[in-house]
């Protein structure tokens, strides 16, 4: 069964559903944690910690407290880090952003938190979509050898096999389409004039190698689609040839029976019962 596909709208809020969650301990009052449902169905816990910008003029104690908070946030985010993407930590204009596949955090002045959060959620939606497409493309490659072997087994009459190949081709096309829809979000040029959210998005894309991953996944999916199409074509041709062969065999059977009738008639005239 092919998973229902979704269009990707970078301008749309990718967080489909939001609900409050409990922030970790040791954070200043005002820190909030929100559980966001991404378009792929994955959940992202987003922690927003309001904190003034770094200022060298402030007492060292304040800066030390800031460092502890950042460390706490980093550990909280890293606790959910999962391959293939390790945690990403981006300092940006006095703000800090941490992201893994299931947790993210923004630390910065209260007036910038919404922009940062929106940028992180937008990026997380694109990355989750890309990761899902990568998984589907990898799964397609895993079955390629069997598909090629099965499509060349002309002796076997396997209608179920043809259905499998057709499903695989549909899946390959669906993955290609998904990656094509993701392309504008992945390859989006930098905005001018630059904004904090725009720059954060660019840095997250760079650090997670989103462009290269998209390119590789597209290459894999297109390869799988080409092979699946060729396999399906071969299976289709084999099915058509089999039907034609069946007709030919039916004609041969009728000719043999007709010949037998003639032989019986001829022999009966010569027989001596």
Partner 1 sequence: MNPPTPACAAPAADQSARQASIDVLRAVAIGLMVVVHFAENLAGWYGGAGNAFAGVHRTWWLPTGFAAPTFAFLVGASYRLWLDLQRRRGRSEEAIAKGTVRRGLFLIGLGFAFNVLVWLPEDVFNWDILTLIGCGMLALELARRMPDAVVLFAAALVVAVAPTMRLLAGYPAYWAEGFFDYDFTLADVTLGWLVTGYFPIFPWLAFPLAGYALAAGRAANAGRPAGVGVGLVASATVLVLVWPSLPEAVTGAAAQPWTMFPASTAYVLGTLGAVVLAEAALHRWLDGPVPRGRGLVAWTAPLSRHSLSIYLAHHAVHVWPLWAVGMATAGDPTALWQLAMPIGWAIGLAAVFLVAAAAVCRWVDRRDVPTAESLMRWICD
Binding site for partner 1 (CB under 8 A): 155, 157, 242-243, 245-246, 249-250, 253-254, 257, 260-261, 263-265, 267-268, 270-273
Q: Pick between residue 79 and residue 247 the one whose CB is nearest to partner 1.
A: 247
Query: 217: Cβ–Cβ under 8 A, 6 or more apart, which residues?
Result: 130, 133, 134, 137, 175, 179
What letter would DSSP give residue 152? T
Report in angstroms how near the CB of residue 251 gets to partner 1 at its nearest. 10
Report in angstroms how near the CB of residue 241 gets to partner 1 at its nearest. 11
Q: Pick between residue 22 and residue 272 the one whose CB is nearest to partner 1.
A: 272
Report in angstroms how near the CB of residue 72 gets to partner 1 at its nearest. 57
Report in angstroms how near the CB of residue 242 gets to partner 1 at its nearest. 7
Residue with tokens 């390629």: 144
Report in angstroms how near the CB of residue 150 gets to partner 1 at its nearest. 14
Q: Which long-range contacts (C-beta less than 8 Å, at least 24 apart) are formed by 148-152?
A: 148/227, 148/231, 150/231, 150/235, 151/230, 151/231, 151/232, 151/234, 151/235, 151/238, 152/234
Burial degree of 167 (CB within 10 A; 0-12, 13-18, 19+)? middle
What letter would DSSP give residue 158? -
Q: Pick between residue 58 and residue 243 the one whose CB is nearest to partner 1.
A: 243
Q: Pick between residue 157 and residue 226 the one whose CB is nearest to partner 1.
A: 157
Q: Pick between residue 191 and residue 260 the one whose CB is nearest to partner 1.
A: 260
CA 214, 168, 38, 21: dihedral to nearest 10 degrees? -120
């Amino acid at each position: 069964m092919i998973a229902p596909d979704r269009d990707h709208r970078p301008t749309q809020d990718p967080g489909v559903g939001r609900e409050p969650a409990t922030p970790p301990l040791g954070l200043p009052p005002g820190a909030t944690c929100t559980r966001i449902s991404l378009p792929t169905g994955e959940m992202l816990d987003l922690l927003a910690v309001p904190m003034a910008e770094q200022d060298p003029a402030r007492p060292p104690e304040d800066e030390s407290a800031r460092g502890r908070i950042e460390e706490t946030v980093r550990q909280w985010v890293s606790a959910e880090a999962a391959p293939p993407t390790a945690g990403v930590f981006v300092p940006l204009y006095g703000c800090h952003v941490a992201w893994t596949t299931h947790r993210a955090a923004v630390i910065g002045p209260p007036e910038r938190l919404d922009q940062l959060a929106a940028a992180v959620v937008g990026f997380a939606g694109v990355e989750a979509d890309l990761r899902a497409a990568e998984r589907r493309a990898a799964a397609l490659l895993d079955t390629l050898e069997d598909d090629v072997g099965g499509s060349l087994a002309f002796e076997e009459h396997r209608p179920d096999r043809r259905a499998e190949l057709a499903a695989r081709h549909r899946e390959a096309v669906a993955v290609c389409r998904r990656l094509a829809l993701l392309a504008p979000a992945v390859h989006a040029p930098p905005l001018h004039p630059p904004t904090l959210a725009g720059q954060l998005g660019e840095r997250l894309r760079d650090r997670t190698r989103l462009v290269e991953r998209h390119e590789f996944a597209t290459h894999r999916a297109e390869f799988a689609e080409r092979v699946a199409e060729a396999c399906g074509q071969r299976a289709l041709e084999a099915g058509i040839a089999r039907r034609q062969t069946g007709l030919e065999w039916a004609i041969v059977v009728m000719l043999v029976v007709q010949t037998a009738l003639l032989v019986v008639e001829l022999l009966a005239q010569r027989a001596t019962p």
